[in-house]
Structure formats: structure tokens, C-alpha cells
Chains A and B, each alone.
Chain A
Amino acid sequence: MVPGMLASIVGYAFVNTCVGLEIQGQEAVAIREMDGGSETLATQLPLVIGAQKGLVEETDLKIPNMRGIMQARQKPFEVVAPQSISAKTNVEKFEKPAPKAEVKLVPADDLDQLIDLLQNEAQVL
């Protein structure tokens, strides 16, 4: 929800569930995951990207080394004063889900029983 709201408030283009991104100058080509497939979208900067797992392969994640971490202390660090903005939602309370019934185990050699249970008891087949 947040990426879309941000894009709308600042007036940037927006691609959600993004699993691929290439930027050349002011042009961006993004791959967006949809229900049941994916699409390639072309748009311009400035752009908000809602990243999705797959945008960066885990093997490509760059973990900084000790030198990099220590050097970070030299980088400029600007503290911005918080704004007082009131939230529009408030969680009043939490609740645990109802306790679950125990699993019904079916012997591996009686698959007919499983099918019967799914059809007639659970009514999902």
C-alpha cells in the first residue's frame, strides 16, 4: 500500500510487484508480476518501485565488508526533524485465531478415503 500512496502524493510514476528493472537515463523498463503472469512496462523517471522478491537474486546481494561498514561512518548523516502527522488508522486490539482441530491422518494405502473425505466431508473436490 505504501509505495502507491507515496507515488501518488509526490506525483511520481509507479510500478508495483517489480521483479526486473533497467534504467537508462530517464527511461525505465520494469517487469511487473501480475496474477498469473508478468508484463513489461516502460515509463520515465522519477519513479517509485514496489520491489518484489526476485528483483535481485540472492546470489547478487552485496553484503558490505568490514572496511565498507567502517567507512560508512564518514558519510554525511542528515537528521530530519519528524513531522507531526496523525495516522488515519489505529489498531484497537489483536486476537488469536480459533484453536485448530487435530489433523485427520489417512493411511497411505487408503487414498480412496482421502478422496472421500475431500469430496464429502470437506467438500472441496
Chain B
Amino acid sequence: MAAIELTEVTKSWGRTVAVGNISFTVDSGTFVVLLGPSGCGKSTTLRMIAGLEEMTSGKVMIDGRDMSHAPPSARRVSMVFQSYALFPHLDTRQNILFGLKVRRVERAEQERRLAQVAEMVGLDRLLDRKPSQLSGGQRQRVALARAIVAENSICLMDEPLSNLDAKLRHEMRVEIRALQERLGMTVVYVTHDQTEAMSMADKVILMREGRIEQTGTPDRLYDRPSTKFCAEFIGTPPMNILRLSDAGGAAVIAGSDGPAVVAGSGDGYELGVRPEHIGVAASGGVPATVDSCDYLGADTIVSAQIGAQEVLVRTPGRFGFAPGATIGLTWSADDTHIFNSGNGRREQGAAALSVTA
């Protein structure tokens, strides 16, 4: 069953359209990520689900009921804010129990839930601390606990990990996902960080300029991006997008005298291939000149030039060629994507060719 269903939702301020006519559903018990660059309308969408922002038009259904104009308190959703929004004058216990006190839940019940939730997120020893006496990660846990304790089945999260350092972010990612699965919660999670989306989501909704660019599972978005924007947004380093040109009945990479990479015409099309799918050979393949190497330990990101176009290659371990050397790049046809340079859409019919040494 759909826990949340948005139908043709639009939000505009005067002439600026923040969210334009979007529709999607969130299945009960799933983890859905709203992903996109800043200013793409993902937070606004979340706030409209919560009822903190009034929609200009459209419909929001929560658990099968029309909540388009219901106040936030009637929607029975919890929310974790980017800034955590903890009450600075209340200690951890009071912060977590704030909502239960408002709703006049019985005292014994409050204590029972508090104990359970505090144990779950590891706050049992910190119940008497004020937010200012807690670290960033601990504050994050308090915010999480406050969202869980209400026992709403839906939890909205607005970039909850963006204020944490990289290591803690990774830990919390795993923890949030585990909590979600354990409690069977429906989570709508907003982020601009594609790693978070890839690692946590059941379904990713990629947004751009107030519209949905692509919806699908993380591997679907990675394997078959439907637009050039999606291809470049998912994955680090991003996918290489290379302009093509015609050369005697087949397409080659513009500005290179290498082998044909696509059967058919090349003008007006672009070839996408991920850095991790490119192989390096001493000769053969598409000739390229090494620019620089970025050694990361497990692998090296090599920046090279094909004609005037830059291409990134991820190679395992250390890289054997010095800057200035000429190398050959190879890839398999299955790992390539062809886009129309005009509208940025994926070209379904075109036949890519494998490039071998």
C-alpha cells in the first residue's frame, strides 16, 4: 500500500516555480530518497508532505487519507531537521518526550517508550544533558529518538547527516537504515549527497529544477540513467560524457583519430562511460594523453585528454604512466550510454561498439 502519494503537486512563489507538477508514491515500509542538487525543490517537497509548506496546487495522500490541507499535527508524521531543531533549554529526556507531553500520553507509557527509544539509539546515559552539552552525533540521535518515540509509521528526514563529519556520517547512515528496517518505518529522506542515496535507498527520486528527472532503484539509476543529468549526478567521479562526430559511416569521439565507438551517425550525440568502466592499455583502443593522477590508495583517478576532451579513468592501485604519456583506453559496449546532446535524453536505439586494445 502507498503510505504517501503525491499527485501533481506544485509550489510556486509568485512567478518562481519551486516544485512543478510532480507526482510519486512511497510504498509503506520503504526507504525513499529525494535526491538532487541544492535548489531543486526536494526540501520544499518534503515540507509539503509534512504540512509546513502550503501547496499551490495538487494533492497529498497519507495512509490513504487526503491530507492536502491538513495541519502538520494531523498528519501523524515525524520529522528530523537538518539543524535537528532541538529545544535548547530542555534536556535530552524532555526533548524526546516533548511530543508525548503535548499529546498527553500517560506517564507510565512515556517512561516505557523513552527507555525503549533511548536504548535503541544509545542515549541512555545522556538523558539529563542539554543539547549544548552534546556532540553533533549525539544531538542527531536525540532528534532521531524524538522522531521515533511518537511511533508514527512515517518519518521525514531533511538532510539529517549534513552537519556530521565523514566517519560519523557513515555510521549514522548504517544505523538509520537498520532502525528503519527494524521498525518497519516509511522514510522519506532528502539529501544532495548521492552516496547517501545509493547506500540507503530502496527507491531514489532524482529531482532537478522542481521536476522529477528519474525515479528508480539505486542500481537502476546507476546502470541505466535516463538523462545526461542523472548520469553525471550519480557516481563519483561522475560519468565521462564525450562528444561524438561522424567519420566515414561510424561515430568517433570528437577530436580523436581513434576507432569507431558507435555504429551510425555521431553528430549531435554524446557517449557516456563511467571512469570505473574504462580500461587502460599501452597501445590500441582510443588514444589519450595522461594529464595528472590522483592516487587514493585502493585506486587512482587518472585524468587524461582525448583530443580536447577530458576523461577520467579509475584504475586499481598505482598508475604506471607519467603525465604526458600516451595510453590507449578501452571499454565494453555494455557499459556505455548514448545521449542526445540536444535534449540530454538517453538514446535507446543507438548501437555502441566495444573498444579493445
A and B are partners in one complex rather than unrelated chains = no
| Chain A residues within CB distance 8 Å of chain B | none
